Structure 1
Amino acid sequence: MQVDALDRIIKNAIDVMESSKYQIFEICENVRSERNALNNELQQVIDETTKTIDMVDHIEMEYRRARIRLTEVSRDFKRFKEDDIRTAYEFATQMQTQLAMYREKELHLKARRDDLQKRIKNVDKQLERAEAVVSQVNVVLEYLSGDLNQVTRLLESAKNRQLLGLKIILAQEEERKRIAREIHDGLAQTMANVVLRTEIAERMLTKQAYTSVKEELVDLKGQVRGGIEEVRKIIFNLRPMALDDLGVIPALRKFVQDFEEKSRIRTQFEFTGKDARLPSGMEVAIYRLVQEAFSNVVKHAQASHVMLEVTYQKQMVKIVVTDNGVGFTLDNIDKKIEKGSHYGIIGMRERVELLEGRIEMQSAKGAGTKISMLIPIKLDSKEE
């Protein structure tokens, strides 16, 4: 991307964000005005509610007295006249009506008060979110308004760092390929030929009485076959063919199976996400990270179970290796790393840093170890 084009894009983004910022300011002011109006209305409702409650209490007392008066005049017809009875009845009825009316008003005011309080809380939340957006917009504007050349340099530097890391890893793997090819074409073929020659000699000797020589040749054949098997293991460790042919996930499945058979440690592998081919250097890096983590389990953990979890996210690969071993104190391991005595973890950290990822370790004595690695996927870093 040309710097001028990037400059135009950033300027357009700044203009849009400046306009949006002022619109958000207007929204904030409108929300503040609405909140002030609601607070004033709430205060009025609270005052009126207080007065209404006092009035309800007063009318209730008057209504009780009116009922007592009505009972008295209704019992003694000799003492009170018909007008006294009618007056007491009308007064009691009036108090009852007023009491019902004010109670209804009290309920209405309380409901209005609760509704206003809820609306004020919602308005406060809206205002808080709007102010947070304004703050974020200001931060972005300050960043975008800075030196464009510096931004471009940062972008190019970040890209170059990962490209450099991938190139280093690819160079290492090319060397491993060369060694594997030489062993396969040279030493492995030679040893296979030795086995063939010893079988011929063995068949020839069976016709004669050279028993001791035959036993020696049989033993030699067994040793050579063992050597061939060992060479094949070396070739696989240098560069698994499944990694090139099928990808990192099938290669890891095969690695986990072989690890369990060789180490007698119960192993579990879980993959989440959609399996897809990654850039070759990244697949190699993931494989080597897992390989090193499992090697540390064998050397140090004294574990009976180890679990590998690989998750493909949209722009990230997450790798988690968990064991139930003896664990360690993080302070102690950091000191060993500083002294350069724990090469396995040093190598893992260097590989992760080359890919601009991050690695975290969780462990405690007797509680096992959990290593989590996050590696960003940058598909524009493919090899030519």
Structure 2
Amino acid sequence: MDFHVGQIDRVIQNAIAVMEDSKVQVFEICEVARRELLTLTYELENVLRETTDTIDRVDGLERDYRLARIRLTEVSRDFVRFSEHDIKSAYEKATQLQLDLMVYREKEIYLKARRDELQQRVKGVEVSIERADTINLQMSVVLDYLSGDLNQVTRILESAKNRQMIGLKIILAQEDERKRVAREIHDGPAQSLANLVLRTEIAERLLETKDLEVVRSELIDLKSQIRIGLEEIRKIIFNLRPMALDDLGLVPTLRKFVQDFEEKTRIRTVFETTGKEKRLPSAMEAALFRLVQEGFSNAHKHAQSTFVSLEMIFHEDIVQLLIEDNGVGFHLDVVESRVNTHTHFGLIGMKERIELLQGKIDIDSAVGQGTRIRINVPIKAESGKELIAHGE
């Protein structure tokens, strides 16, 4: 058995080395693409601005040229009122306007073509970055999985089919979570920072004009954008893992979560605890917090609730969660059939977490009568080790 383990170890170590090297290369390619995207975006903004100015200039020249031709026709017909100098002046003005109009029309055509080209290039680079990010995330998941204890890998290989399926579901869940976080960072802080870079360049140029009021206005707007970006980053960090969970424990974190939930959704909430409060294993606290998150999210998104309550009951060897809402409710048989066909991912996630905790979940609901979720989790179960091993 040790011989086979050694062979597997060498294969895995080689695979890890290759994937780590490839991951670095993908990251470098991605960074080059991001710098190119920033340059293209800046150039596109300049081209769009210049295109707008040129179109306005063409419209003005067309208007002036029409008036100049009318003026030329008038002076050419009335030799009594207008002198030869007037006629010559009108002719030269009309000719000059015609030349300017031709030049600016050519410039407009060029700028529109350049604008379309830049927009296509920006779109192409964004797609490349998104694909590179996806590949990078997938490689990170596989690396994390391969970098674990080799004995754990062999145990998973020798385990029963349902245990293997749980492991695969966890990997897929991790990948989906990382994609979500990457998308949040890309759409939020990353976009904000790219915009801030451009705005600081604009502010630098404005300093050359010595128009301090305009610069002051630009800096005030920059400060507002930075605050928004900071708020987005804090939100992403909290969604990943509330810092209070490690520092203060599960109960204080749940109190803060329930309070924030009520302020955000305007749904009245109540949180109570029964029994002697105590700290649980870190992985178990994280799993229980996610269960409450999912239960409250379901009440908000699907139940149309106006009231949600959470009760946490500490027993000697069991911790119990009770989540109730006064929402529209549902037919339990219908939802369970959807769960079996993998279309109701909220309940799937809750049930899988509870299985890993070696706990039980009971759902009581009916149309028009709200929903009651009861979760029982053994405190001293081996599930804590299982969750740690899978990176909960």
- TM-score using structure 2 length: 0.47
Q: Decide which structure has the larger Cα Rg and report it.
A: 1
- TM-score using structure 1 length: 0.48
Which structure has the higher relative contact order (CA within 8 Å, separation 6+)? 1
